[in-house]
Amino acid sequence: MCLDSSNMAPRNSTHFPFRSLPSEIRNKIYRELLCAFQAPPETVTAASAFDNSFHPSPHSIDTAILRTNTITHREAYDVLVKTNRFVRITSVHGVPLRRLMQSLMVPVVASRISAQQFKGYVLAVHLGCKEPVRVQEGTGFEGMLEPQDLIILHRDLDSLCRALADADAHKAGLIANFELSIKVAPVLSDQVSTRYTPSFDNFFSETTQKTLLAPFRNHLYGYTSVEIAGHVSKSLASTVREELQQDRWSNPQIILSDFTAAKEAGTQLFQQRDLSNASLTWQDAAVDIDKITGSSAWPRLVARGGQPFVSQLAELYFLVRLNIAHIQLTQMTEDPSFAYFAGLMAEDALQCAFESIKQGYWMEGFKYQPANKHVAKLRYRIALCGRLQREPGTAETALKWVDGALRLQPGDAAIIKERERIVAWVERGY
């Protein structure tokens, strides 16, 4: 759509009286032209977790109307900024912002030079780190630590904050290492006032300030180094800082109750054959447990709940990881096109389960010992995963795992059948 009258009608025709339209109609036209961003993805695919690029925010925006005249530009730009509520995200070298955003496919509107040139954002969020995060060279993740300068929509800030809340699942201690700076309404101070500048009088009310800061308050815990500045109530800024610094987990019984409920919710989805959502539910629970054990709150939780609490949480974690592996192995069998990513996820779940039963994993001097039937499932699924992946030279190892499962569960039909397949694999010599 274009409102350039020279393109709309013959030279002698009457210009369309756009300025005569009621302001409500003009604003609706502005929103149709300048706020046409598509909805973000509802689910995160396994492939996206390994994608090395940002996910663009699809749109059908037409900015031609901004070039008509001064008054229309001011009105249209006002709607563009206030409706879309752009957020600028920056980071220093050492912060794995790219990796965190890719984990939940956070849509990006603009990056690099385009992000630096645009000034109409309602929040400026900067991530620094007290000590640089390093990865081993040659792993393919070096680029994940490069500085970033991005523009996203405020509607997608919730996803970004959930990704930041999961930071410790990517590398233990990341959250404690982060320095978070939030500036509210930088558009009021950073943008030079001109005749094209819209008025933001009364827009950044305390209600709007709370709305803009809500994603941080809803998802972030344990961020001990937080600065909140800009056009923001001092009491609100102080409250948000205190909330972000708090431990997310403090009551052992509530934690056990929440994760038991999550495990059961996944089981119900599994029984309904909704395997994808069952796996996601269990995966979320397992990641949250990983975050708890890697957080500064864990020693206090252990002191409060003691070995009974640790034992119950360890059991929940072990079983949830086994369940995740079961679903991924099923998908490997039923859908070969998904086998690679499902194999990686199954292998990760089984490795996590195996590590969790080692001495000292949960607390010093403690070793979680699952029931024999559950250890047998672990060994059986490790063997099955190995056979389905068919890595050269791993057949003998798979046979040892399945034999270990059979010793614990002699006569189990599924284990016996799997052993026959693995023996055939060994005999074929690959």
Count Cα atoms within 13 angstroms, Cβ side, for 159.
Answer: 22
* Measured distance between the N- and C-terminal CA atoms of the chain, rounded to whole angstroms: 62
pLDDT of residue 166: 83
pLDDT of residue 412: 95
Angle at 218 between CA 217 and CA 219, to 5 degrees: 100
Structural Rg of the chain based on CA atoms: 27
Over residues 306-316, the mean pLDDT reads 97
Residue with tokens 């990056």: 111
Residue bearing the bigger pLDDT, 315 or 6: 315
As a whole number of angstroms, the distance between CA 292 and CA 302 comes to: 11
Residue with tokens 């500064």: 296
Residue 198 φ then ψ, to 5°: -75, 165
Strands (E), 12-169: 55-56, 86-91, 107-108, 110-111, 121-129, 148-153
pLDDT of residue 139: 47
Residue bearing the bigger pLDDT, 250 or 139: 250
Q: pLDDT confidence of 183, banded at 50, 70, 90?
A: very high
Over residues 136-154, the mean pLDDT reads 76
**Ramachandran category for residue 261: left, alpha or beta (phi over 0 → left; psi -120 to 50 → alpha):** alpha
Q: pLDDT confidence of 202, banded at 50, 70, 90?
A: confident
Look at 104-113, 168-177, 319-328 and tell me which has the smallest mean pLDDT. 168-177
Element (H, E) at 305: helix 298-334
Residue 180 φ then ψ, to 5°: -110, 125
pLDDT of residue 334: 87
Residues near 337 by beta carbon (within 8 Å), at least 6 away in sequence: none
323-332 in b/e burial notation, b at 16+ Cβ within 10 A? bbbbbbbebb
Question: Is residue 163 classed as helix, strand or coil in its secondary structure?
Answer: helix
Per-residue model confidence as pLDDT tens digits over 49-96:
445 578 888 888 888 999 888 899 989 999 999 999 999 999 999 899
pLDDT of residue 3: 34
400 pLDDT above the threshold of 80: yes
The one-letter code for the residue type at 58 is P
As a whole number of angstroms, the distance between CA 132 and CA 226 comes to: 17
6-24 in b/e burial notation, b at 16+ Cβ within 10 A? eeeeeeeeeeeebeeeeee
Percent of the chain surpassing pLDDT 90: 64
Mean pLDDT across the chain: 88
pLDDT of residue 39: 82
Strands (E), 313-356: none
pLDDT of residue 197: 65
296 pLDDT above the threshold of 80: no
Over residues 300-314, the mean pLDDT reads 95
Tally of helices (H runs) and strands (E runs) in the chain:
17, 8
135 pLDDT above the threshold of 70: no
**Contact criterion met (CB below 8 Å) for 355 and 289:** no
pLDDT of residue 167: 87
**Contact criterion met (CB below 8 Å) for 109 and 86:** yes
As a whole number of angstroms, the distance between CA 113 and CA 99 comes to: 20
Q: Which of 311, 389, 402, 298 is nearest to 348 (CA)?
A: 389
Per-residue model confidence as pLDDT tens digits over 354-392:
999 999 999 999 999 999 999 999 999 999 999 999 888
Joined together, the tokens standing for residue 285 give: 């629970």
Per-residue model confidence as pLDDT tens digits over 217-236:
999 988 999 999 999 999 99
Domain locations in the chain as residue ranges: 5-245, 252-428
**Contact criterion met (CB below 8 Å) for 103 and 170:** yes
Which CATH code is given to the segment(s) 252-428? 1.25.40.10
pTM: 0.64
Per-residue model confidence as pLDDT tens digits over 330-359:
999 888 777 888 999 999 999 999 999 999
**Contact criterion met (CB below 8 Å) for 114 and 154:** no
Residues near 334 by beta carbon (within 8 Å), at least 6 away in sequence: none
CA 144 to chain centre: 15
Question: Is residue 273 classed as helix, strand or coil in its secondary structure?
Answer: coil
Percent of the chain surpassing pLDDT 70: 89
**Contact criterion met (CB below 8 Å) for 123 and 183:** yes
Angle at 417 between CA 416 and CA 422, to 5 degrees: 95
